[in-house]
Each structure stands twice: as C-alpha cells, then as structure tokens.
Amino acid sequence: MFPSILLHLSLAVSFAASIPIQRRALSQNDIIGLQLAGYLENLELSLYSGGCEGFTNVQWATDGFPATFQQDVCAIAEQQQNQTEFISTTLETNGIPAPQACSYSLSYDSPTSFVLLANQITSLSLGYYLGSLAGFSPELQTVAASILSVEARHDAIIRNGMGASPFPTNQDVPLSSIWAYNLAQNYTTSCPQQLPIDLLPPLSFNGISGSTLDFSWTPSANNFSAPVGAAGQNLYLAIVHTNASDPIYQEVQTGQQGQGTVQLPEGLGGVVYAALTASSGDLTYHELTTTGTLAGPAQLVLS
C-alpha cells in the first residue's frame, strides 16, 4: 500500500505545481520536440495576450460576444504564459536554451477577426502536440498530452465564440514537426533563433469558388532538379484531413506559372492541411510531410 500512496503523492505534486521535469537525459527528440513546443507556445502567448488587451468590453459586445468572453481570452493568455514558462524551465533545467519569442505578424482588427485567427493558430498548436506525442519519451508524452487537452478546450471555446461547432470532426489532424514549424512561419516575421527544421517553400490559398480551390506557390523555391510545375510534371495537392494515414491526393490543374486549382472532395470539415507534391498517393504521411512536400503546407478552415 505504501508504495502506491507515495507514487500518487509524487505525481500529484509534480502536476499541481507544474514543477518542470527534473534534470534527466532528454533524448534528441525530446529536446527538439520541447523547443518546437516552446516556439509555438510563444506564438500563442503573443496572440492571446494581444487579444486579451486589444479590445474594450464594448468592442467585444458590439461584435456579439458574451460578456464573459473577454475574461476567457485573458484566462487562456494566462494559461499560455504558464505553459510557456513550464516548457522553458524544463529545457533550461536540462541545460538547453529555451526558444525566445519572435516578432509576429498577427493581423486582426476586431474581436471577430482575432477569434478567427485564434482558431487557426490554436488548431496548429493542437495538431503539433497530437503529431509529436509518439516521438517523446514516455514521461514527456503525458506532459505533452496534458497540454494538448487544454489546447483543445481553448480551441473549443474560441470556435464556439465564432459561431462554429466546438467539435467539428471525430478526430483532429496530427501535424508533423516540419509541417507545424512551417505553418508557424506564416505568422513570424523575424526570430532570434531558427530551429534545426527545414523551411519549405510556401503555398498560399487564394480562395474557394464552388468546390474549386485556387492556390499559388513560388515555382523556383525548392531543392528539386526540375522546377515545380515544369512542363510534363504532374502535380498533386495532398489534403491531410481527419484520417492522417489516408491523405487525399487531387491532381492539380496548373494555370499560370506557380498557380493551380483542385476540386475539393466532398465530406471534409473542420481544419485540414494541404501541400503540393509530385506524388499521386504512394507516400506515407511521414514521407509526404518531409521529402514529399514541394510547397506548403497551408491550413484551410472548412467549418
């Protein structure tokens, strides 16, 4: 009986007080995984602090938000602050520098546009924790999952605030580290550090008309011998949705250089991610998100 009581006490103490994971041999995956977590937490902290301070009660009310919504955004900001500190302290306790905040480009000018952006960025962070879980050592897996479930609740209340379903899909989309890091670049203008993760050529969505998704990329910005979109090269948009093991590959109709369209399949919802690839579907999710990505990924909020 005693050993089990002691175990419970020690777990209770380490979770309640958010004591950082004590000095231990962090694996290389743990280190890069925590650094990327800290990198994303810094982005979210800047986002939610800005949203907490940015608008008056009257502005929130004018945009139709309930009276308690601003307090919720401020509470999320405080939790982001604590999550950021927890990750930083865990790294520093182990002699690893914690990522510093970058300069961000977070474009919103009203409570409504803030909340739309918050859904995009929180989905990204949530997807990262989900996708990175298996790469952490067992003890850190629990830590990462305990942040993931809180991120999911933040996202649910934000989505509820924007009038969308708090839980649009049965499953969330896991993001690989390289995809998560590249998605974060969309909101980052300059940074005191780069993480050792490849930067991929960006992909931008221009709009959806009916079921046609229009997008563009920089044709020369890749390391492949043939320029992307060269004559004769078939291109596909790989759409990663709720079942990440089963991306949908849609053939791209190329327009002018660096621009294309695909038909969006029916039945997709929530937040999905897509990347330009030369593969028509024979890649694993890991292959797709590393060597298989010619441009992207980009995030698409469908519902």
Residue in the block written with tokens 């896991």: 174
Q: How many amino acids of this chain bind ligand NAG (CB under 6 A)? A: 18
Q: Does 245 bind ligand NAG (CB under 6 A)?
A: yes
Strand partners, 263: 212
**117 binds ligand NAG, rule: CB under 6 A:** yes
In 3D space, the residue among 203, 217, 292 whose CA is nearest the CA of residue 249 turns out to be: 292
**Conformational region of residue 204, where left means phi above 0, alpha means psi within -120 to 50, and beta covers everything else:** beta
Q: Is 186 in the site for ligand NAG (CB under 6 A)?
A: yes
Site string for ligand NAG, 48-77 (x = CB under 6 A): ------------------------------
Question: In this structure, are residues 26 and 61 in contact, taking their beta carbons and an 8 Å threshold?
Answer: no
Q: Say how far apart CA 240 and CA 28 lie, in whole Å.
A: 27
Please say whether the beta carbons of 275 and 238 come within 8 A: yes
Question: Contacts with ligand NAG in 72-111 (CB under 6 A)?
Answer: 78-79, 82
Kindly give the interhelix angle for 111-132 and 177-185, rounded to the nearest 10 degrees. 160
Q: Is 176 in the site for ligand NAG (CB under 6 A)?
A: no
Binding status of residue 249 toward ligand NAG by CB under 6 A: no
72 vs 137, beta carbon nearer ligand NAG: 72
Out of 126, 158, 183, 252, point to the residue binding ligand NAG (CB under 6 A).
183
Residue for token pair 């909020």 = 301
Considering only 246, 255, 265, 286, the residue that binds ligand NAG (CB under 6 A) is 246
Cβ at position 198, least distance to ligand NAG in Å: 4
Q: Smallest distance from the beta carbon of 25 to ligand NAG, in angstroms?
A: 27
Pick from 167, 166, 198: nearest CA to 180: 198
Residue 258, both tokens: 């660096």
Smallest gap from Cβ 177 to ligand NAG, in A, equals: 14
Residue 222 is encoded by which pair of tokens?
Answer: 């890749």
- Assess 120 for contact with ligand NAG (CB under 6 A): yes
- Give the interface segment with ligand NAG, choosing from 42-50, 61-69, 196-204, 252-260 (CB under 6 A): 196-204
Using the minimum distance from each CB to ligand NAG, give the nearer residue, 204 or 218: 204
H or E element in which residue 171 lies? none
**Residue 125 binds ligand NAG (CB under 6 A):** no
Told to check if 298 binds ligand NAG by CB under 6 A, we report yes
Q: How many whole angstroms separate alpha carbon 262 and alpha carbon 254?
A: 9
DSSP state of 27: -
In sequence order, the 6+-apart residues with CB closer than 8 A to the CB of 164 are 119, 303
Closest CA to 91 of 99, 80, 81: 99
Among 53, 92, 198, 251, binds ligand NAG (CB under 6 A): 198
Residues 199-238 within binding reach of ligand NAG (CB under 6 A)? 200, 203-205, 223
139 counts as binding ligand NAG under rule CB under 6 A: no
Binding interface with ligand NAG (CB under 6 A)? 78-79, 82, 117, 120, 183, 186, 198, 200, 203-205, 223, 243, 245-246, 298-299
